[in-house]
Structure formats: structure tokens, C-alpha cells
Amino acid sequence: MSGQEHGVAHGRPSTRPRICITSGRDPLGEQPEQQYERVRAAYSGCVAESGGIPYILPTPGYDPALNATYLDFADGLIFSGGEDIHPSFYGEIVLEKCGAIDEKRDLFEIELFRGALERGLPVLGVCRGMQLIAVALGGSLYQDLSYCQDAGAFHAGAWQDGGEMPSVRLTSGTLLHQVIEEESLPVNCQHHQLIKALDHNCTVSAVSPDGMIEGIEVSGSPFVLGVHWHPERLALRDRCHLELFRALVRAAADYSRKAVSSKRP
């Protein structure tokens, strides 16, 4: 992995952008020699089908030099789903119904995201990944659905009992709306936390039937998009969800071309 050879593999120009996907450590609480770096295989499948080269990033802890190397290597990033983010990152204490936490992953990914934002690196955040974007920019979360009186149980997956997915409304004129090209979209919500507050640089791009935030993007950035559902699990049955990965790969290809051009004498 060389930042000086960005967009080049084995001396030949690469026509497929490199998409790095974050992973979680499982099982939590065990010693490193007992843990696996784990992420759902569907992320890699969606990236490959969309024309990108998927790479899985481990979570070794925050190391500025290592983060810089990852960012030099990547043409785009996917922040995958997983555990709850420690509430200390948004100025709160851990409440009773907050779920499992991996602070090492939180710090690593928050700093990785901030570095990506500085570089203009394309980013897609999925479920926890969307929450991470919000928190990294100064936003906050409801630590459980029960702490938000207006939230419906379908967010945590109760819709599966009836067999019909809820639909989110896409905000006209947003990047998400441009990518999906639909006014609404059925989604597989499976999260027990919600966005409470957003930084002014974040735009809401999707809203659930009960008014909760299901999609965000960062104003002024070429491609920083977060969704609260799991498009990687729906892409085979509904190609609208694959469009999120295709759009990321296109943005990553543009980023790679610009990075290579900027290094030419």
C-alpha cells in the first residue's frame, strides 16, 4: 500500500477503485488472540458487483500513522454496521439500555472518518456507520428507542413480524434522492438507536414514517452519505439499494483519477 502509487497496482493503472470496509471485533471483551475481525460478506459482494475492489480494514486501535496509510491507500470508505458508539463521544454517560460498545473501534473510525472528510474521500456509512458520521461531526444519539417517545418499534426490526418493510421518504434535491431516483424506498430498519441532533453541516436525506432521521449527508462534500438501514442485505432483491454502492464506486473512481493527476509532474 503506497500513497505515492495511488490508483496504481503492480505498476499498471488500476481501473477499479479500492473501497475499504471497516470491521468489528468479535467476540467483544475477549483477548485479541481470541477475537476475529468480522464484517458481513455482502458488503464486499456489493462493492465487487459495482466495479470496485473491496478491502476489509481491521480495528487495531487508533494510530495516526496507520490511519494515514489507510487513507492514502483507499479511494473510498464504507463504515459498516455493528456495536453502539460510546456515549462519551457525544457528551453523555452510558444509560441502562445502551448496547455493546467497542471504544477502540469508535476512536479508530471517528478519526478515520475525519481524515477522510479532510481529503474529500468518498464515504458511505451504513447503520452504525451513519451514526458514526453524525457523532464525528458533533451530533448525538438516542441510546435506545425507548428514550424517544415518538419512535416506532419497527426501527429495531419489529416490522419482520408482519413481513412488510417500512418505507422512508427521500428528501428532494439531496444526493441520496439523486442516487436512488425514487420518492420513497422500502428499507430493512434494524437499529435500536436514533439520531437525536445533527451538526449544521449535515443534511437530512431520508425520514421514516414516524419522523425519525434515516439518511444523512454532509453539505459541501462530494460524496459523504449515511443510511440507517442495511442496503447490502437488500441489493440482490431490490437493485435500488445496489445503486448506493455503485454511486460510491463512481465517486471513488473520480477521486482516484484526481489523486493520480495531482501527482503528475
Annotated active-site residue in 83, 214, 232, 243: 232
Q: Is 127 a catalytic residue?
A: yes
Q: Is 49 a catalytic residue?
A: no
The full DSSP string for 170-214 is EPTTSHHHHHH--SEEE-----S-EEEE--TTEEEEEE-TTS-EE
> The cell 414516524 sits on which residue?
210
Stretch (H or E) spanning 216: strand 213-218
CA distances from 158 to 136, 153, 229, 243, 246 (A): 29, 6, 14, 26, 29
- Annotated catalytic residue within 127, 148, 189, 202: 127
Which of 155, 177, 192, 230 is flagged as catalytic? 230
Do 18 and 74 form a contact (C-beta atoms < 8 A)? yes
Q: Can 118 be counted among the known catalytic residues? A: no
Residue 139 has a CB neighbour count (10 Å cut-off) of 20
Closest residue by Cα to residue 127 from 93, 78, 179: 78
Active site residues: 127, 230, 232
